[in-house]
């Protein structure tokens, strides 16, 4: 029973590894073929997170004043 469980676990890990390898090789191939586009995608992600962080940092403090900015009214009401 225990042996059976271990073998199931091992095969599951093997499958996950193959899927991950497939994704990683896909990424590698894409970035070697189109380095500029890959770079732009990476930069877009980085700056997206920077803007999200800015939004949270500002809005947390604005909400703590007990004030809701008017441009957010349609979202929350």
Partner 1 sequence: MITSILQSPILKIWASPEKVFFMSYVVIEFMVVRSTFKFSKLVKYNILMIFALLMVQGLVISYWDLLFHRQIATPVAKWAYDQGAFIYTDKQLAIVFFLNTFVIFFLGYCYLYFQSIRGKFATIPYMEWLTDSVAFWLRIKTPTMRFGKRKKGNDEKDKRK
Binding positions for partner 1, rule: CB under 8 A = 31, 35-36, 39-40, 42-44, 46-47, 49-62, 65-67, 72, 75
Smallest distance from partner 1 to CB 60, Å: 6
Selection from 68, 73, 45 nearest residue 58 by Cα: 68
End-to-end CA distance of the chain: 56
Per-residue CA distances from 73 to 23, 58, 67, 76 (Å) = 41, 16, 11, 5
Q: Give the shortest CB-14-to-partner 1 separation in angstroms.
A: 23
- Cβ proximity to partner 1: between 15 and 61 the closer is 61
Instruction: State the nearest-atom distance from the C-beta of 1 to partner 1, in Å.
Output: 38
């Amino acid at each position: 029973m225990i042996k059976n469980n271990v073998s199931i676990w091992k095969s599951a890990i093997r499958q996950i590894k193959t899927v991950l390898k497939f994704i990683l090789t896909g990424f590698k191939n894409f970035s070697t073929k189109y380095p500029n586009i890959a770079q732009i995608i990476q930069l877009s992600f980085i700056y997206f997170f920077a803007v999200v962080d800015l939004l949270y940092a500002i809005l947390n403090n604005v909400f703590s004043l007990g004030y809701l900015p008017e441009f957010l009214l349609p979202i929350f009401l």
